[in-house]
A and B are shown apart, each in its own frame.
Chain A
Amino acid sequence: MSSIPTSFFGWVYFLLQEYGGILFKGACVTLLLAIVGTIIGCIIGLAVGIVQTIPEDSNKSTFSRLLLKCEKWILYAYVEVFRGTPMIVQAMVLYYGAMSVFQIDMSPMFAGFFVVSINTGAYMAETVRGGIDSIDKGQKEAAVAVGMNHFQMMRLVLLPQAFRNILPQIGNNLIINIKDTSVLNVISVTELYFASKSAAGVYYRYFEVFFLTCVIYFIMTFTASRLLRWWEGKMDGPSDYELIEYDPMQDPCGHFPINPKAK
């Protein structure tokens, strides 16, 4: 083994060489949890958001109206419970609860995916609802007027527009998830924080190791944020407002001129 370093950066360099691999693996686990959790969470959020915005149609039978009310109430309860309790506690309850009550021995990784997904889902449900509500009423009316039902309207008109509007919030959730998966160390998921703690414990160099950890977290979140910005820009398409070609009908000096080029 190389000699024990004396300076701060000496230690950082030394620890990077010794534990770089472990930290890198931890970072990969963190990213995997955050990305998969965010994606599944978004899907849950979309589904919940769509159901939450179904209008109560007085033409439907009493039974289907009651069913819809029940569904909405259950989803509302889901959102409130998972938004209203800390993820670290949810992880403990779920992981140990499943073991002691249902005798299900899920792997920490699976429990991790589960907790991150449903947690993100609860937040996204509200974001999606807001995103849908924020779209101009005229878009909904036009969709209805061309004969679309609620789900066609959602899929074809509202969600594509709402998605663009909630993209910044999805980015927020991804960044929060990259950082907050660190709480999953309590159920021994070997993500970045867990890996750092193990590495720091060997030489008792907490500051140096966590300085490294800090840099790694920042690189991950910063990259995620830049990528999402780029994606947003791409979705907006070109911003030039130039009209495509000469429109004879728009010429106020005369309708349907015979030869528009002559002007």
Chain B
Amino acid sequence: MTVDNTAPLISVRGLTKSFGERQILNGIDLDVKQGDVVSVIGASGSGKSTFIRCVNFLEEPSGGEIIYRGKPVLEAFKELPLYRTKVGMVFQQFNLFNNMTVLENCTVGQINVLGINKDEATKTAMKYLEHVGMAGYVNAKPHQLSGGQKQRVAIARALALNPEVLLMDEPTSALDPEMVGEVLDVVTNLAKEGLTMVIVTHEMAFARDVSSRVMFLDKGLVEEEGSAEQIFNNPTSQRTKDFLSRFNLMK
């Protein structure tokens, strides 16, 4: 496959999604370039999660296109699973494989999907587990971990596949307040290291501090998009202003 390095990593064009009669997304466009950290914000029911789930085809888009390095995903990849290893996913509910240890969670994809040998996979997994501060827990089962720890392992699991983009669907929404910090620390570090990410989040201060761009979704449409500075300090749309006024964003 020829790779066009100047093209955005992922482009979303006119993405629509409806569940039966109900239209959730009404045509969304987004370009994610190498090194971008895009935060997707918006009220509940605005289609944020549906949007991010469409990007890796967990939900099949009803219309529009997802383009990977200049080529529509369905043309660029013979099989969706191959594409999905390029875009890691972190879920709100962690979704660690309950029947596996922490280490196995991080190696199973490498070994079975990418065909990497076990030693190599273990090495990579350990590297990322250390990165998220979970290297001491390799033999623990998910039920022995706290929420924040689970989410950190889930991040390591996604990173172990060496994805080009990491999608995060409200990574801290299911956590107790005192555990939000540890997960955001990890994500902030990843952002500093230049990992490309698309993050759906309700943590406004976090979105303001880490994102290179922010997309505000409202009723399945992009209401406003721009740099974090622009969206949080000088929003132009009234909807965005109303939405942001509910958060106390004083430094």
Which residue on chain A has the smallest CB distance to residue B86?
A147
Assess whether A152 is in contact with B113, with CB atoms less than 8 Å apart: yes
- Distance of A237 from chain B, by nearest CB (Å): 7
Assess whether B113 is in contact with A148, with CB atoms less than 8 Å apart: yes
Contact (A243, B145) CB under 8 Å given A58-B60, A145-B89 = yes
Interface size on B, residues (CB 8 A): 48
Contact with A along B70-98 (1 / 0, CB 8 A): 00001000011110110011010111111
B118 at the interface (CB under 8 A from A): no
Cβ–Cβ < 8 Å partners of B149 in chain A: 247, 250
Cβ–Cβ < 8 Å partners of B84 in chain A: 144-147
Contact with A along B133-154 (1 / 0, CB 8 A): 1001101110111101100101
Q: How far apart sit A250 and B114, CA to CA, in the bound complex (Å)? A: 32
Cβ–Cβ < 8 Å partners of B141 in chain A: 237
- Distance of B189 from chain A, by nearest CB (Å): 10
Contact (A250, B179) CB under 8 Å given A146-B157, A147-B81 = yes
Q: How far apart sit A144 and B56, CA to CA, in the bound complex (Å)? A: 10
Assess whether B185 is in contact with A146, with CB atoms less than 8 Å apart: no
Cβ–Cβ < 8 Å partners of A161 in chain B: 98-99
B58 at the interface (CB under 8 A from A): yes
A262 at the interface (CB under 8 A from B): no
Contact with A along B172-186 (1 / 0, CB 8 A): 000000110110011
Assess whether A241 is in contact with B136, with CB atoms less than 8 Å apart: no
CB contact between B161 and one of A143, A147, A243 (< 8 Å): that residue: A147
Assess whether A146 is in contact with B136, with CB atoms less than 8 Å apart: no
B35 at the interface (CB under 8 A from A): no
Q: How far apart sit A33 and B144, CA to CA, in the bound complex (Å)? A: 41
Assess whether B144 is in contact with A241, with CB atoms less than 8 Å apart: yes
- Distance of A124 from chain B, by nearest CB (Å): 20
Contact (A146, B148) CB under 8 Å given A157-B97, A255-B181 = no
A residues 212-263 in Cβ contact with B at 8 Å: 237, 241-245, 247-250, 252, 255-256
Q: How far apart sit A152 and B161, CA to CA, in the bound complex (Å)? A: 16
B112 at the interface (CB under 8 A from A): yes
Sample (9) of A-B pairs whose CB atoms are under 8 Å apart:
A138-B95, A142-B91, A146-B158, A147-B109, A152-B113, A237-B141, A241-B144, A249-B148, A250-B148
Chain A interface (Cβ < 8 Å from any Cβ of B): 58-59, 136, 138-139, 141-149, 152, 156-157, 160-161, 164, 237, 241-245, 247-250, 252, 255-256
